[in-house]
Structure 1
């Protein structure tokens, strides 16, 4: 059974002037529509993690899940919201993707599942080679087991915020992707990044 899909769209987008970054125009659509289109074939049902008035996403056609942890607790709070939703659907896992990363691999889910194949509770993050650090992990792109949602809830309640601190506790596997011809986890943080994403999309057409 395919995992459920979760698009993390709860960031504050300060470097883009605030607002919903996923609504920024890219190609014939938006950042969000590009991410939805890329993730949909790889997963079962999908949901969107975002806070505030969910009605602003009515046109997207996805359930909108708000963080259950007070304050801006970062992507782990979004993952927890996704895991609680998945549990209500009878699913055993979710795969998360960031709304500002439109070119992530088309085989993301399969590779994450392969990396975590021998784990009791499959947990894996995407990574790319880094010439200085060896491997650079991409903590908003992961396979998350519903079985660990209460452990994650407790960690967040205790104040943990960094994704890799929690995933390291559970020995998360890594699915390594190579950056050819560019880093597939390139994300849009600034207007310059958005211009680059537009150029890349035109080159791929």
Structure 2
């Protein structure tokens, strides 16, 4: 969708993986972030990468590198804000975010989020497991640029939990089936890398 930009959230510290850029860990014949880029690129009109530290280490991707605009690693909402500020400068009305450690997210993510948008244009993804439990996925969302000043104020006021802010703004929910496999499976540990390898081989 040309009027929606994609922002890959890679600003975390990857403490359970021993630190460093988790998205650069190998998965199959590529890296985690390569899988994410390949899935998101066909769904959006432009892309950027939210990451902190020296941007030169990520220059090979040819994407704008957006550091958190709020100090202290306040979490994924800071990456969302970085993306919204960038999109505002580019004249793009909304962004969709995807986590850099989630290589199997849906190929219709952007379309489904757009269809589920709430009254303010905001939506989160969710996955329903085989027990019928619905899990919201706070790093996968549709975020309108019109809410960026409200988000900045909330972050500066200390808010960190994504769903507290999205509930405040009546976010819609795009629900995905996770009965066979959670499409939002994310890699947090070395054991998760091995599980992701098995999932990749099964595809």
| TM category, shorter | over 0.9
Matches within 5 A, 1:37-186: 37-116=38-117, 119=119, 121-130=120-129, 134-186=133-185
- Residue 132 of structure 1, CA deviation: 6.6
State the Cα distance separating 1:60 from its structure 2 match: 1.2
On the 8 A contact 1:2/1:42 being kept in 2, the answer is no
The match for 2:14 is 13
Cα distance, 1:56 vs. partner? 0.5
Please tell me whether the aligned partners of residues 129 and 177 of structure 2 are also in contact (alpha carbons under 8 angstroms).
no
CA drift at 1:130: 4.4
For the residues of structure 1 that align with 2:193 and 2:146, how far apart are their CA atoms? Answer: 37
**TM-score computed with the length of structure 2 as normaliser:** 0.96
Question: Where do 4+ consecutive residues of structure 1 move more than 2 Å?
Answer: 130-134
Which consecutive residues of structure 1, in runs of 5 or more, have no partner in the other structure? none
**Which residue is equivalent to 2:27?**
26
Aligned to 2:189: 190
Q: How much has 1:88 moved relative to structure 2?
A: 0.4
Tell me the C-alpha RMSD between the 2 structures.
Answer: 1.3
* Native 8 Å contact 2:113 2:125 kept in 1: yes
Find the aligned partners of 2:11 and 2:132 in 1 and give their Cα distance: 28
Query: Given that residues 129 and 179 in structure 2 are in contact (C-alpha distance below 8 angstroms), is that contact kept between their aligned partners in structure 1?
Result: no
CA shift for structure 1 position 2? 3.4
Q: How far apart, CA to CA, are the structure 2 residues paired with 1:180 and 1:44? A: 31
List alignment gaps of at least 5 residues for structure 2: none
What whole-Å deviation, never above 9, does each CA across 1:11-67 have from its counterpart, x for those lacking one? 111111100000000111100000000000000110000000000001111110001
State whether residues 129 and 182 of structure 2, in contact with CA within 8 Å, keep that contact through their aligned partners in structure 1.
no
Q: What's 1:3 paired with?
A: 4
Which segment is superposed worse, 8-17 or 132-141? 132-141
CA contact (8 A) 2:128 2:179 kept: no
Task: Describe the SS at the equivalent of 2:154.
Answer: helix
